Amino acid sequence: METEKKGEVLDSMSFDPKFKFEVIKTTEGETSLGCFQCGMCTASCPVSEDLNVKPHQVIKQVLLGMRDRVLRCKTIWACSFCLVCNIRCPQGVKPANVMVALKHIAAKEVEVPEGLKTVGKSILEEGLSRKVTEFQNRRRASLGLPQIPKIDKGLRRLLKETGFEESMGGGL
């Protein structure tokens, strides 16, 4: 269950008190302890109206140790890294960076959402976020543009060494 409901009883025995320390040990999440729940990140977020769990609530859940709930939360994947929350946060928490840290942990422990896996697999295969069709290549040729090159060995090696390939469920 992702959304917090009024009066919901939480099982604090399932909380992981070490979770916040795991997050702050990452480069992206090192500032998360400074959050005092002002809600500026949520007010600044262009997608927050569509989220059941708001960005400031995600950070609160991190601090409380609600590991499973946070890592299964759709909010972390909805963050487009527009950085408005980072700019506006009065405590310098950098909520967008915290979301990146949480995505990394979730990709290893839970799973990447199917839609993002599709994009990731395309990056692994093509080096682009979506496949280029023959129609697009013919259109490019008619405009005097070269065909879009396939993924090169350097990018493929980088994707493998950074764990991207593994987080997409294997690869090439």
| pTM attached to this predicted model | 0.77
- Domain boundary at 86, 109, 132, which? 109
- Confidence (pLDDT) at 172: 45
DSSP code for 110: S
- Confidence (pLDDT) at 165: 80
- Confidence (pLDDT) at 106: 94
Residues with pLDDT less than 50, the chain: 1-3, 171-172
Is 128 domain-assigned? yes
Q: Are residues 49 and 101 in the same domain?
A: yes
**Burial class of residue 35 in the structure, from the number of CB atoms within 10 Å of its CB (0-12 exposed, 13-18 middle, 19+ buried):** buried
| pLDDT tens by residue, 132-171 | 888 998 999 999 999 887 777 888 888 888 888 877 766 4
Q: Are residues 162 and 96 in the same domain?
A: no
Is 5 domain-assigned? no
158: containing domain: 114-167
